[in-house]
Structure 1
Amino acid sequence: MRRRLTLLVAATTCLVLVAFLVPLALLVRTVAQDRAVVAATADVQAIVSVVGTADPTTLRLTIEQAAATRPLTVYLPDGSVLGTPAARTPAVELAARGRSLTAVSPQGREIVVAVQGRPDGTAVIRTVVSTAELSRGVTRAWLLLAGLGLALVLLGLLVADRLARRLVAPITELSAVSHRLARAELTARARPAGPPEVRDVAAALNQLAGRIQELLREEREQVADLSHRLRTPLTALRLEAESLAEPADAARITAGVDAVERAVTGLIQQARRRGAAPTGPGDAAAVVRDRVAFWSVLAEDTGRTLRLDLDPGPLPVAVADDELAAAADALLGNVFAHTPDGTAFAVSLAAVPGGGAVLTIADEGPGLPVGAAHRGASTRSTGLGLDIARRAARTNGGDLRLSTAPTGGAIVTLHLAPPP
């Protein structure tokens, strides 16, 4: 923008200077020519009276003195020529009939004056203003005008650069602050500077950043309140589980309560560190192995066949352990929530050349419902499961992809980027 403003001012200045200096340069040349012609005409007029009245000797001496400073020729009626030798030209022949005039010749301007009143007829005085004399001082004047124009252009560029800098610097700072806010640096603030409109934008951006901080603070407080609201029912469930007579049932229910409590705690921690630096890397092999072990118990209870193909690891990825565990739980929970009991499914975890891992969960169910890829749009659910996994991957440089198996079931592939 700064460069464009400078070029705009330069172009405008050049157009104004051309419109002003070109006519002025032509006027200077015309004035110089008129000045030279007037000076030559004055020299000729100075000897008109001598040519018309003086005796031959006086006339000859006067003409020779005048011809010493300027080419001057006098054509007498008897055909004799005094002064600077020169052939008779058409202009001289015309002046011999009693008409004074100025004509253009190859040498410059030819001035002829008819002198009448002599007893022997009309005499003609001729002088020539050379091209050099006509343009004397013009080149210097043009150089001065060109220098003046160049100085004005440079001055205009300097002023334009200063003005553009004052205008562009605040806009550049606003752009930098907006990029920092986009990178979750919510403490970034713009310094109001520049024109009033730019200052208004800076104030609005600062107000927006403050409002975002307030909203995030309120969200964190609400998530923290969630923990306190869930502590009591979770404690009650744990006590009920411990009071069961069957130790296996008690252990299973207690493990489920512990898993819910860990999920709530992880959610609270994730909300509190939102906007901070990533907490990774995590070990995808250890996390997926742990979550598969948890869900395999439910798979046995519902008669589902589970096929595993897990890399022994460790597989470091950019996603933190708690986020990856939440993503794996969301994807595995979708299998149990959206497929009938007895539906087989497979879980595979493979390393990626160059770093990272790929987690694939495929089932033999009815496939993905319409709109399952959009948050809140899937049928018979809140639509958050896939979104949780997608955000966990994309926030850390990965991605989530959905496809359909040849048998009609759903295939969910979670690409996990390597740690930075």
Structure 2
Amino acid sequence: MRRWLALLVAATTSLVLVALLVPMALLIRAVAANGAMERATAAAGSVAVAAGTPDLAVAVEQVARPVTVFLPDGGTLGAPAPRSAAVRLAATGRSVTAEAGGGREVLVSAQSPQGTAVIRVFVSDAELMRGVREAWAALLVLGLALVVLGIVLADRLALAVTRPVDGLARVSHRLAGGDLAARAEPGGPPEVRSVALALNHLAGRIDALLAAERESVADLSHRLRTPLTGLRLDAEALRDPEEAARLQARVDALERAVSAVITEARQRTAGRGSCEAGAVVRERVRFWSVLAEDQGREVAVSLPDGPLPVAVGAEELAAVVDALLGNVFAHTPEGAALSVRLARHPEGALLTVRDAGPGFEPALLERGTSGGGSTGLGLDIVRRTAESSGGRLEVSAAEGGGARVEVVLGAA
């Protein structure tokens, strides 16, 4: 926009200056030529006064320019000059101005007792243009200075408009990236300030709607807890152990699904955070190690030396680790070993969870796909968390059997 506005001002200023300076330049040339001709006419008039007197020769010598007097008897005084057609016309008693080689000649007729004498004063082209080129150069410099000044002012004006617009664009990108705390600074023309205020109002409204959504999901979860608790008690009260275990497994799956929905909703409404990945992974592995010890599972842990910050909040990363380890415990037989490895990665951090179980299909990555009694929401939460930080989720078969899940987390 700045470039286009500068070009527009330059073109408009140039047209205006051409319309003004060209007539002014022609006027300067005409004024200079008229001045030179008037001086030549005055000189010729001063000589014409002395026509027919003995002082004619003295008058010719006193004029500081080329003067020629054509006498009635055919002789001449002063600078030599040809007797042109214009001279013969002036000899009839008419004062004329005619073009001559290299300039103009002023011819004034003067009556004397001997007849009509013609006084010729020559005006060169250099005298006709004296001071004109300097004036034209000054006009050109003035025109260029005005064009440059107009472009500079237009650029400043465009900057006053484009800078707030660029700020609005940056704020909109931040909002699109999930930074709901981003707000625009109103500035610039009134129209741009109105857009900034409208964008801030929209951001506030979006933030309020997402907060309301989070509260609604949280309220729904509290309402579901009570019937889930009652259903669990009813399942435990069944006399058939197999039927009770089957119902309890269904209740556990339903409870995990509800918790996943709550976690996902809170992740959408919360701003992107950061944490030290090693500390979070170490704490969650320690939590699951108690259950692993009860089931006879061997747990191998590898953590990096030093802090490893990632662009994921501590609660979100803990939910990722819980989802991955929960899948291992839920879908592998007791005694199956597992390993958790956190390492540095060019994009941030790499979290790898491997197990020695039967493995699972990559189709579990699709939201809502179920296999082996799973809701498929656990890996979907992991994938969304990884992508929100700029990373990704990869699932593959481990060497020697089992499953391998790799989660790349973006750097903070």
Q: What is the TM-score when the length of structure 1 is the normalising length?
A: 0.68
- Asked whether the equivalents of residues 223 and 268 of structure 1 are also in contact (C-alpha less than 8 Å), the reply is no
Alignment of 1:103-118 (within 5 A): 103-106=99-102, 109-111=103-105, 113=107, 115=109
How far 1:61 sits from its partner (Å)?
3.5
Q: Residue 61 in 1 paired to residue 58 in 2?
A: yes
Letter in 1 for 2:136: W
- Structure 1 residue aligned with 2:98, among 102, 110, 117? 102
Q: Which residue of 1 aligns with 2:320?
A: 327
Q: Distance in 2 between matches of 1:262 and 1:316?
A: 33
Offset from partner CA, 1:346-378 (integer Å, 9 cap, x none): 755252368733315587667433xx65546x5
How far 1:205 sits from its partner (Å)?
1.0
Change (3 A) 1:315 1:333: farther
How far 1:216 sits from its partner (Å)?
1.6
Q: Distance in 1 between matches of 2:252 and 2:379?
A: 23
Q: Distance in 2 between matches of 1:35 and 1:234?
A: 110
Q: Distance in 1 between matches of 2:306 and 2:318?
A: 14
Letter in 1 for 2:56: L
Between 1:308-317 and 1:216-225, the stretch displaced more is 308-317
Change (3 A) 1:398 1:50: same
Q: Distance in 2 between matches of 1:272 and 1:183?
A: 11
Q: Residue 71 in 1 paired to residue 63 in 2?
A: no
- Asked whether the equivalents of residues 96 and 114 of structure 1 are also in contact (C-alpha less than 8 Å), the reply is no
How far 1:395 sits from its partner (Å)?
3.2
Percent identity for Structure 1 against Structure 2: 45
Q: Residue 311 in 1 paired to residue 306 in 2?
A: no
Q: Residue 212 in 1 paired to residue 206 in 2?
A: yes
Letter in 2 for 1:212: I
Q: Which residue of 2 aligns with 1:186?
A: 180
Change (3 A) 1:268 1:131: closer
- Asked whether the equivalents of residues 331 and 361 of structure 1 are also in contact (C-alpha less than 8 Å), the reply is no
Q: Alignment partner of 2:89: what SS?
A: coil
Unpaired runs of at least 5, structure 1? 301-305
- Asked whether the equivalents of residues 303 and 343 of structure 2 are also in contact (C-alpha less than 8 Å), the reply is no
How far 1:130 sits from its partner (Å)?
3.2
Change (3 A) 1:315 1:96: closer
Q: Distance in 2 between matches of 1:313 and 1:286?
A: 14
Q: Residue 127 in 1 paired to residue 128 in 2?
A: no
Offset from partner CA, 1:316-374 (integer Å, 9 cap, x none): 5534554334324545666899x9999x99755252368733315587667433xx655
Q: Distance in 2 between matches of 1:191 and 1:416?
A: 32
- Structure 2 residue aligned with 1:357, among 350, 363, 377? 350
Q: Alignment partner of 1:358: what SS?
A: strand
Q: How many residues align?
A: 392
- Asked whether the equivalents of residues 357 and 417 of structure 1 are also in contact (C-alpha less than 8 Å), the reply is no
Change (3 A) 1:210 1:96: closer
Letter in 2 for 1:27: L
Q: Alignment partner of 2:30: what SS?
A: helix
- Asked whether the equivalents of residues 10 and 156 of structure 1 are also in contact (C-alpha less than 8 Å), the reply is yes
Change (3 A) 1:148 1:316: closer
Offset from partner CA, 1:151-204 (integer Å, 9 cap, x none): 644653565356435433542443454355456553444455544542442243
How far 1:211 sits from its partner (Å)?
1.7
Offset from partner CA, 1:69-104 (integer Å, 9 cap, x none): 332111336554323xx3334xx3434543655224
Q: Distance in 2 between matches of 1:30 and 1:214?
A: 76
Offset from partner CA, 1:357-402 (integer Å, 9 cap, x none): 3315587667433xx65546x5778764433112222334532235
Q: Alignment partner of 2:20: what SS?
A: helix
Q: Which residue of 1 aligns with 2:80?
A: 87
Q: Residue 228 in 1 paired to residue 222 in 2?
A: yes
Offset from partner CA, 1:12-62 (integer Å, 9 cap, x none): 3234313431342133123312331243235335645754xx14x243233
Change (3 A) 1:13 1:345: farther
Q: Which residue of 2 aligns with 1:303?
A: none
Q: What is the TM-score when the length of structure 2 is the normalising length?
A: 0.70
